[in-house]
Chain A
Amino acid sequence: MSTDQPTITVCDATLRDGSHACSHQISLEQIRAYAKASEAAGFDYLEVGHGNGLGASSLQVGESLVPELEMLAAARAELKHTRLSVHVMPGFATIERELKGALAAGVDLFRVGSHCTEADITQRHISHVRAAGRHVWGVLMMSHMVSKEVLLQEARKMQSYGAQGIVLMDSAGAYVPAEVTAKVGHLAAALEVPVGFHAHQNLGLSIANSLAALEAGARIVDGTARGFGAGAGNAPLELLAAVLQRQGYVTSIDLYHALDAAELCAKLFAGSLPVSNGITIVSGLAGVFSGFAKPVQRAAAQLGVDPRDVFFELGRRKVVGGQEDLILEVASELARRAQPTPTP
């Protein structure tokens, strides 16, 4: 193995993105069991919480089985070398109610995210974490929706607030590798802080995209065990671990334990493992937030419309993450349009 290959930070988002895959019903037992395995596998960070981050347990995006602080405490107790991270979305999470509690719970890294054009709403949250002496990254969500120039401009804002890393999320699973190369490369060349990539599997390209990101200069990569995450899932960690090793990247991953963690995940979350199907494919094509898959299916079923039509319409309206309420409006509208006009 070459020693001048870069060191890659690997973030395990299984207990956060996976929340989307099981309608946010992750239990304390599952958290404890998986956290142990993640620690053994040597991932750098384990992210825990609701799919939309701190404070997101809601009617809007689904309620968590377990209160947030209990989830964090359970994971915290199992982790020694692997660090605990959380996802934070201003607009859902407030400093007073959510951030302070998470700081007290011993979270090591706060990944504060906004829609890819709205970085300035993260200023106060990022600053607060830095002032508290903890680590913080900025996250740009739905990053497929804008140009690399816009992404860099937004990333620079987060960097100026004190973000110590910037993660580009492919929240819709919409990217192809060339786009990843262009965008990650553009940021990696200009930012002082490391750049990361968070892939989704909707178009079957999560590993290819993750690899392209690393080759373009990303030093942080996200994945989940068995891809356990929203929509068609994320870049599977066990595959990432294998590919990282094959390409000679330096990580702290123990391959066998990483594979074991994937096996454990399959057992723990059997029945909720993500699959690729017509819904997730259309979701990726339409560029819609992957987490919409379940609510779209539910609303479409209730209102008697084709979920794929709902996705394309949501995509046409350029809906962003967190706007799950629009699913009902769109589905209702499609149902209304499909009704035959009453005969006079």
Chain B
Amino acid sequence: MNRALALVRADAEAVLSGYASRLAALRGQHVFISGGTGILGTWLLELIKVLNEVHGFGLKVTAFSRNARNFAEHWPHLGAMPWIRWQEGDIRHLAELPRDVRYIIHAAALTDRRLFASQPGAVAEVNGVGTMRILRAANLQEDVQKFVLLSSGLACGAQPWDLPRIDERFAGALRCDEAGTVYPESKRYAEILAQCAISESKLPVVTLRPFAFVGPYQSMQLPWAVTDFIRDSFNGGPIRIMGDGVTVRSIMYMSDYALWVLAALANGRPRETYLVGSDEPVDLLGLARLITRFFNPVPEIRTRVGQAGHDRSRLVPDVRKIQGELGVTRTVSLESALQRTIEWHRCQQG
């Protein structure tokens, strides 16, 4: 367990070593993080821990989540931190924010693909109403400096197969005649709610559209390709790819993701939207091969396990806007991201 914590700590320190001084606006501030115990929330806390312990930032955090208490008990290296206030609650019923909060990160959302199928109504409600509630609460604050909304790279619809990358101006179509698109639609709605707050009360909102990520603290129960492949590898394989494995994604390491979010919080331009993620494409077959190389014996990869021909799907962002404006870069390669993630899981397992 200690080695796992040390690994994450090292990653957090590394990603901040080049950028911490540029986060100076956050010194001494109180940040409210909704979804504070989700994977992004956890990594944000890890980075803020470094900012406080290594860089003397004196940042206070209120971590709001449905399972704040359990999380604090389970991860005492965060749970026992005096600068974190754990607030247990449902984002749909959030009434107000602590008085001195001037920075807000709204990451609370239902993002589990299994829930999209079995409880689409709950997804719509949490992601929509939850955003409405926290925006309303933010409007009662004295002096909000920045409100970062975590939307989704899917919010603007499916990327065309022949378009290498989408950028902030991309505006595709989302079907609304089926519950299957509830997640991207709920994120689109969240974005519109934020735009309304911008228009009516000039709330300084920065909208982020994150793509795909991998890293410690990520539950392997979630049905993303990368976590499936890792979990299957731990189980000895085989890795099952439904089609030919030509689906193209990009995957960023969690430490970079968390840093980019903090950068947006400190330096993002209000009213702007930024895509967050890796712009390095990888197809599923290639991803599987990268992953299996970290296992001995190397697990088998099977393609065409299901129906072929449904996997011409691409989701890769053009992130030059956030890189140019905020001076952030991807510091961890895909290989390294996978290697560290796998090692962390190994440490967790014993």
- Do chains A and B directly touch (beta carbons under 8 Å) in the complex? yes
A149 touches B202 (CB 8 A): no
B199 cross-chain contacts in A, Cβ below 8 A: 153, 157
A149 cross-chain contacts in B, Cβ below 8 A: 271
Tell me the complex Cα distance, A153–B199, Å. Answer: 7
Could you list some 7 contacts between A and B, CB below 8 A?
A117-B202, A120-B200, A149-B271, A150-B202, A153-B198, A153-B199, A157-B199
> Which residue on chain A has the smallest CB distance to residue B195?
A153
A120 cross-chain contacts in B, Cβ below 8 A: 200
Q: Residue-by-residue, is B255-270 near A (CB-CB < 8 Å gives 1, otherwise 0)?
A: 0000000000000000
Tell me the complex Cα distance, A153–B271, Å. Answer: 11
- Tally of A-B Cβ pairs under 8 angstroms: 7
> Which residue on chain A has the smallest CB distance to residue B198?
A153
> Which residue on chain B has the smallest CB distance to residue A146?
B202
Tell me the complex Cα distance, A117–B202, Å. Answer: 9
Q: Nearest-CB distance from A302 to chain B (Å)?
A: 35
B residues bordering A, Cβ < 8 Å?
198-200, 202, 271
> Which residue on chain B has the smallest CB distance to residue A147?
B271
Tell me the complex Cα distance, A150–B204, Å. Answer: 12
A157 cross-chain contacts in B, Cβ below 8 A: 199
Tell me the complex Cα distance, A150–B271, Å. Answer: 9
Tell me the complex Cα distance, A150–B270, Å. Answer: 11
Q: Nearest-CB distance from B144 to chain A (Å)?
A: 16
Q: Nearest-CB distance from A264 to chain B (Å)?
A: 45
Q: Residue-by-residue, is A103-121 near B (CB-CB < 8 Å gives 1, otherwise 0)?
A: 0000000000000010010
Interface of B is mostly: helix
Taking each of B198, B199, B202, which has the highest tally of chain A beta carbons within 10 Å of its own beta carbon? Answer: B199
Q: Nearest-CB distance from A142 to chain B (Å)?
A: 15
Tell me the complex Cα distance, A81–B198, Å. Answer: 43
Interface of A is mostly: helix
Tell me the complex Cα distance, A117–B198, Å. Answer: 11
A153 cross-chain contacts in B, Cβ below 8 A: 198-199
Tell me the complex Cα distance, A43–B336, Å. Answer: 71
Tell me the complex Cα distance, A120–B196, Å. Answer: 13
Q: Nearest-CB distance from B110 to chain A (Å)?
A: 31
Instruction: Rank and list the top 6 A-B pairs by shortest CB-CB distance, nearest first.
Output: A153-B199, A149-B271, A117-B202, A150-B202, A120-B200, A153-B198
A150 cross-chain contacts in B, Cβ below 8 A: 202
A117 cross-chain contacts in B, Cβ below 8 A: 202
B202 cross-chain contacts in A, Cβ below 8 A: 117, 150
Tell me the complex Cα distance, A111–B199, Å. Answer: 23
Taking each of A117, A150, A157, which has the highest tally of chain B beta carbons within 10 Å of its own beta carbon? Answer: A150
Within 8 A of B (CB), among A144-170: 149-150, 153, 157
Q: Nearest-CB distance from A118 to chain B (Å)?
A: 10
Q: Nearest-CB distance from A146 to chain B (Å)?
A: 9
Tell me the complex Cα distance, A157–B271, Å. Answer: 17
Q: Nearest-CB distance from A254 to chain B (Å)?
A: 44
Tell me the complex Cα distance, A220–B69, Å. Answer: 62
Tell me the complex Cα distance, A153–B201, Å. Answer: 12
Q: Nearest-CB distance from B112 to chain A (Å)?
A: 36
Tell me the complex Cα distance, A236–B147, Å. Answer: 45
Tell me the complex Cα distance, A252–B200, Å. Answer: 40
Tell me the complex Cα distance, A10–B119, Å. Answer: 61
Tell me the complex Cα distance, A157–B198, Å. Answer: 13
Q: Nearest-CB distance from A277 to chain B (Å)?
A: 35
Tell me the complex Cα distance, A153–B200, Å. Answer: 10
Tell me the complex Cα distance, A120–B199, Å. Answer: 10
Q: Nearest-CB distance from A261 to chain B (Å)?
A: 42
B271 cross-chain contacts in A, Cβ below 8 A: 149
Tell me the complex Cα distance, A117–B201, Å. Answer: 9
Q: Nearest-CB distance from B273 to chain A (Å)?
A: 12
Tell me the complex Cα distance, A158–B172, Å. Answer: 29
Tell me the complex Cα distance, A153–B270, Å. Answer: 14
> Which residue on chain B has the smallest CB distance to residue A117?
B202
Within 8 A of B (CB), among A124-158: 149-150, 153, 157
Tell me the complex Cα distance, A269–B202, Å. Answer: 43
> Which residue on chain B has the smallest CB distance to residue A153?
B199
Tell me the complex Cα distance, A120–B200, Å. Answer: 9
> Which residue on chain B has the smallest CB distance to residue A120?
B200
Tell me the complex Cα distance, A184–B198, Å. Answer: 22
Tell me the complex Cα distance, A117–B203, Å. Answer: 12
> Which residue on chain A has the smallest CB distance to residue B271?
A149
Tell me the complex Cα distance, A153–B198, Å. Answer: 10
Q: Nearest-CB distance from B315 to chain A (Å)?
A: 28
Tell me the complex Cα distance, A150–B272, Å. Answer: 12
Within 8 A of B (CB), among A252-309: none
Q: Nearest-CB distance from B198 to chain A (Å)?
A: 8
Tell me the complex Cα distance, A310–B271, Å. Answer: 33
B200 cross-chain contacts in A, Cβ below 8 A: 120
Within 8 A of B (CB), among A68-109: none
Tell me the complex Cα distance, A157–B199, Å. Answer: 10
Tell me the complex Cα distance, A149–B199, Å. Answer: 11
Q: Nearest-CB distance from A225 to chain B (Å)?
A: 38
Q: Nearest-CB distance from B192 to chain A (Å)?
A: 14
Q: Nearest-CB distance from A210 to chain B (Å)?
A: 29
Taking each of A117, A120, A153, A157, which has the highest tally of chain B beta carbons within 10 Å of its own beta carbon? Answer: A153
Q: Nearest-CB distance from B243 to chain A (Å)?
A: 43
Tell me the complex Cα distance, A257–B62, Å. Answer: 70
Tell me the complex Cα distance, A136–B196, Å. Answer: 26
Tell me the complex Cα distance, A149–B204, Å. Answer: 13
B198 cross-chain contacts in A, Cβ below 8 A: 153
Q: Nearest-CB distance from B271 to chain A (Å)?
A: 6
Tell me the complex Cα distance, A149–B198, Å. Answer: 11
Q: Nearest-CB distance from A150 to chain B (Å)?
A: 8
Tell me the complex Cα distance, A149–B271, Å. Answer: 9
Tell me the complex Cα distance, A150–B195, Å. Answer: 12
> Which residue on chain B has the smallest CB distance to residue A154?
B199
> Which residue on chain A has the smallest CB distance to residue B202?
A117
Tell me the complex Cα distance, A163–B248, Å. Answer: 48
